[in-house]
Amino acid sequence: MPTLDPQQTEARTWFEHLRDLICAEFEAIEREAGSDARFDYIAWDRTDPSGEPGGGGVRGVMKGRVFEKVGVNVSTVGGTFEGEFGKTIHGAGEDPRFFATGISLVAHMTNPHVPAVHMNTRFLRTTKQWFGGGADLNPPLPVEEDTAEFHATLKTACDAHDPAHYPRFRKWADEYFYIPHRGVHRGVGGIFYDHLEGDFAAGLAFTQDVGRAFLDVYPRIVRRRMGLPFTDADVARQRAWRGRYAEFNLVYDRGTLFGLKTGGNIDAILMSLPPVATWD
């Protein structure tokens, strides 16, 4: 992969910094629960279809008392799309060269009262360049207070940049995180955005604020719910709901497909899958 230019370097540096902040906060929550669980980090390298080095990333996974399984991955990859896949990517129809850097996070929680969560943000370049990402809350046992606070925090982050962002990106999340064959949404929503083109600095600033908003709101929700008692029936509902989550990620999720089609690390791509799920 060619040497990164200043914009690529700045984006990658931010995603790695955000990873460090999030992992430190999640480990602090484990300490508060009396657990010494920490993230294990595994670096991986990618070979481009051309045979040249194609970048790589670091997979971070923690299994603790509060976080049954949480993965926080960062990657920076580039090279050429293989075969017809490039024609499905914004700006790569005629030129298969690409660059992508980002962070991806999925947390599955021990206590069914603590919502699972997904967050990812990314910067991509083909013949065009853009930011994308978002965050969505996935509670097995929804609580309106948590849903409202999660959305309000994301709305505040959006409104600081463009009042049109939140209603547009919330609607986009509702449409995207939907399981057609089940006729249900994956969770209680959040925001989803893609192809945020234009000024690099503005796009990065918005993407940074999305990351900061997630780091602000989600740990508060976890701390509020992690000590609540739960029943076997609650766990059964959680595991059945996780089955729906797995179905979405394996059948419809664009990030999963992108990782598989670009030769990413399989364990990092599939870290989003829950540790235990059930289907009746």
In this prediction, residues 79-85 reach a mean pLDDT of 86
pLDDT, averaged across the chain: 95
Catalytic: 185? no
- Domain coordinates of the chain in residue numbers? 6-272
Residue closest to 170 by CA, chosen among 134, 222, 124, 128: 134
Residue 49, pLDDT score:
85
Residue closest to 173 by CA, chosen among 138, 206, 218: 138
Structure-token pair, residue 147 = 């849903």
Query: Would you say the C-alpha torsion 94, 98, 102, 108 has a positive or negative sign?
Result: positive
Q: Torsions phi, psi of 7, nearest 5?
A: -65, -45
Residue from 108, 118, 151, 165 carrying the catalytic annotation: 118
Query: Binning pLDDT at 50, 70 and 90, where does residue 94 land?
Result: confident
Query: Would you say the C-alpha torsion 131, 161, 215, 241 has a positive or negative sign?
Result: negative
Residue closest to 11 by CA, chosen among 79, 129, 101, 90: 101
Residue 109, pLDDT score:
98
How deeply is 148 buried, as exposed, middle or buried, from its count of CB atoms within 10 A (0-12, 13-18, 19+)?
Answer: exposed
Q: Residue 163 pLDDT more than 80?
A: yes
Matching CATH number, 6-272, of 3.40.50.150, 3.30.390.50, 3.30.830.10, 3.40.1500.10: 3.40.1500.10
- Residue 216 CB neighbour total at 10 angstroms: 14
182-186, 199-203, 263-267: least confidently modelled range? 263-267
